[in-house]
Amino acid sequence: MNQYQDYELECIEKLETWIPGFDFLSEGGLPKGRATLVAGTAGSSKTVFACQFLTEGIKRGENGVFVTFEEPPKAIRRNMGGFGWNIKKWEEERKWAFVDASPQPGDQPMVSGDYDLGALIARIEFAIRKYKAKRVSMDSLGAIFSHLEDSAQVRSDLFRLASALREMEVTTIMTAERTQEYGDISRYGVEEFVADNVVILRNVLSDEKRRRTIEILKYRGTDHQKGEYPFTIIPKKGVVIIPLSAIELEQKSSNIRITSGSNELDRMCGGGFFRDSIILVSGATGTGKTLMVTEFMAGGVENGERCLIFAFEESREQLFRNAIGWGVDFKQMEKDGKLKVVCRYPETTGLENHLINMKEMIEEFKPNRVAVDSLSALERVSNLKGFREFIIGLTSFIKQQEIGGLFTSTTPTLLGGSSITEAHISTITDSIILLRYVEMYGEMRRGITVLKMRGSMHDKDIREFSIDAKGMHIAKPFRNVTGILAGNPMYNAQNEVERLSGLFDQEI
């Protein structure tokens, strides 16, 4: 068939949905003039997605028709109010039209003979023409099958409807139920006859936590990102998709150095951190991670930079008091508008929401430096996969903004050891600084070393440091101890050290 061939040869145009993240995932939006099936289990926010598709269109001058098979329009108006979508107002402005196909109160109509969905199709076509709609959402298809017994007829009518919609060149979202998160695409096999494209919303329970993901399963004849991407539902915004693995390594990197806040540490790093780098500070509890954050912030403020701290372990008062103890006045800095301290309890919300909140905060405050204290505290509110995605999302965002980031991570053991955080983050970070306890002659001492520093020479020693009322003081390297990083320090006799030093003729 000639016509069919022509149709296929044309490049598939895409309609930007403006749903945050989705256009990235779908590489441009939904295929224009086609139907896309959005399938998901109960509570996977199909209706929100379907509504948001229309609202984002209306905000940009494209009218929409919402066909509801399940909830009556009244319920939808009310339920979506929480997202700040005033559907009633849009209806009055003739931008949004409902086609109400929800079950009516009262008895099921009696059936005598054959019927078809001709009236529904006529109503939808009428609404589209009347409102000059460009976008149509249908929620949800499975419900018609439960109203009407003759599923074979419903199938063929839906097929007819889908082709009618295609002819009218509207872009359509149809939702359908699924019974399992991983199983058949949809109940009643709707996908087989209505849609060229299938998007799946999941709401998976893992480790007693719900995690929402979205996946584009099928996009006939056009490209898209593959796999599941986390998303979250946010009041006043709706669906926000977090495109993680799609983030490209495009960040610029500069040779500009920024101070760590400590001259000695700058020297160890070969002149300071790079401006657009992510630094991970790892250490056991009490080794001085928060101190490093404080110095990093103080160093920034001193140079007239704007600094932002996300604290997930300590309260403001605690942080401020500790900073005073090290000779840094956070209160004054905040008053000057140079510093912002955000304290959140990790359990208040899911990681996805934390990530989005943090991004918003960064965009709003526009800092030059960001510190997160500590990442390990966030580890406990999510599963491993979610946590890794969070870290990737955050680090890439920070890098794109061309700001310096310092994250801390707590190691589970006092001596040596590494944490889950490090395992996931170490390849993403540009620099890693280890803070370790060193047990010597019945005394706990602290050691610091720069494990890694991309693009720069750095000190390879493990140096001792002390903390006093002025902050951190880095001293000489531990020369007569080995095995600090492994967590079992061994002492060499002094003459052995001398013998070794002599071998290499090195100055300490």
Partner 1 sequence: MTKYLLRLYITGNSIRSQRAIANLFRICREELSDQYKVEIIDVLEQPHLAEAEKILVTPTLIKQLPPPLQRLIGDLSNKDKVLLGLDMILKDKKKIKEP
Q: Which of 30, 37, 127, 242 binds partner 1 (CB under 8 A)?
A: 127
Q: Quick one: which of 2, 3, 5, 112 contacts partner 1 (CB under 8 A)? A: 112
Check residue 163 for interaction with partner 1 (CB under 8 A).
Answer: no
Tokens of residue 159, six digits: 């097929």
**Cβ 102 to partner 1 shortest distance, Å:** 8
Residue 376 beta carbon to partner 1: minimum distance, rounded to whole angstroms: 56
* DSSP state letter for 13: P
Does 331 bind partner 1 (CB under 8 A)? Our answer is no
- Cα–Cα separations (whole angstroms), residue 335 to 227, 293, 326: 46, 19, 19
Asked if residues 181 and 203 have their Cβ atoms less than 8 Å apart, the reply is: yes
Tokens of 313: 């372990």
Pick the stretch among 124-132, 319-327, 349-357, 412-420 that binds partner 1 (CB under 8 A). Answer: 124-132
Pairing of strands 135-139, 64-68: parallel
Of residues 118 and 189, the one with the C-beta less far from partner 1: 118
Q: How is residue 502 written in tokens? A: 């002599």
Measured from the CB atom, the residue of 7 and 126 that comes closer to partner 1 is 126
Tell me: does residue 131 bind partner 1 (CB under 8 A). no
In angstroms, give the least distance from the CB of 69 to partner 1: 9
Residue of the chain from 8, 60, 84, 119 that contacts partner 1 (CB under 8 A): 119
Q: Is 160 in the site for partner 1 (CB under 8 A)?
A: no
For residues 191 and 39, the answer to whether their CB atoms sit within 8 Å is yes
Which is closer to partner 1, CB of 60 or CB of 94? 94
Is the Cβ of residue 104 or residue 466 nearer to partner 1 in the bound state? 104
Q: Which one of the spans 25-33, 117-125, 257-265, 366-374 is the region binding partner 1 (CB under 8 A)?
A: 117-125
117 lines the binding site for partner 1 (CB under 8 A): yes
Residue 110 engages partner 1 in binding (rule: CB under 8 A) = yes
Marked catalytic residue, from 56, 62, 70, 125: 70
Residue 455 interacts with partner 1 (CB under 8 A): yes or no: no
Handedness of CA 357, 362, 365, 370 (dihedral sign): positive
Distance in angstroms (rounded) separating the CA atoms of residues 374 and 390: 13
**Smallest separation (angstroms) from partner 1 to the CB of 118:** 3
126 touches partner 1 (CB under 8 A): yes
**Cβ–Cβ contacts within 10 Å for residue 46, how many?**
25
Interface region with partner 1, contact rule CB under 8 A, candidates 83-91, 93-101, 225-233, 369-377: 93-101
Window of 57-65, 100-108, 287-295, 418-426 that interacts with partner 1 by CB under 8 A: 100-108
343 strand-pairing partners = 311
Catalytic residue among 56, 177, 295, 313: 313
Question: What per-residue string of b and e applies to 10-44 under the rule 16 or more CB within 10 Å gives b?
Answer: eebebbbbbbbbbbbbbebbbbebbbbbbbbbeeb
R_g over Cα of the chain: 29
Does residue 506 touch partner 1 according to CB under 8 A? Answer: no
Task: Supply the minimum distance, in Å, between the C-beta of residue 107 and partner 1.
Answer: 8
Name which of 261, 264, 251, 289 is nearest 403 in CA terms.
251
Whether residue 287 contacts residue 437, with contact meaning beta carbons closer than 8 Å, is answered with yes
**DSSP 3-state of 193:** helix
CB of 156 to partner 1, least distance (A): 13
Six-digit token pair at 251?
A: 């960040």
Binding of partner 1 by 113 (CB under 8 A) = yes
- Please enumerate in sequence order all residues whose Cβ is within 8 A of that of 409, keeping only pairs 6 or more positions apart, or say none: 280, 281, 282, 283, 289, 374, 375, 376, 419, 421, 422, 425
Cα–Cα–Cα angle for 327, 464, 500, nearest 5°?
A: 160
Q: Which region, judged by CB under 8 A, interacts with partner 1, from 31-39, 118-126, 239-247, 361-369?
A: 118-126
Nearer to partner 1, 148 or 485 (CB): 148
> Minimum CB separation from partner 1 for residue 55, in Å?
22
Beta pairing class for 209-219 and 238-241: unpaired
12, 173 Cβ separation under 8 angstroms: no
State yes or no: is 70 an active-site residue: yes
109 interacts with partner 1 by CB under 8 A:
yes
Position of tokens 């994250």? 407
How many Å apart are CA 503 and CA 57, to the nearest integer? 74
Does the protein bind partner 1 through residue 151 (CB under 8 A)? no
Q: What tokens does 115 get?
A: 């019927």
Residues 190-229 that bind partner 1 (CB under 8 A): none
Nearest to partner 1 of 20, 73 (CB atom): 73
313 belongs to the catalytic site: yes
Type of residue found at 455: G
Is residue 237 within 8 Å of 59, Cβ to Cβ? Answer: no
Query: Which residues sit at the interface with partner 1, rule CB under 8 A?
Result: 99-101, 104, 109-120, 122-123, 125-127, 144, 147-148
Which residues are tagged catalytic? 70, 313
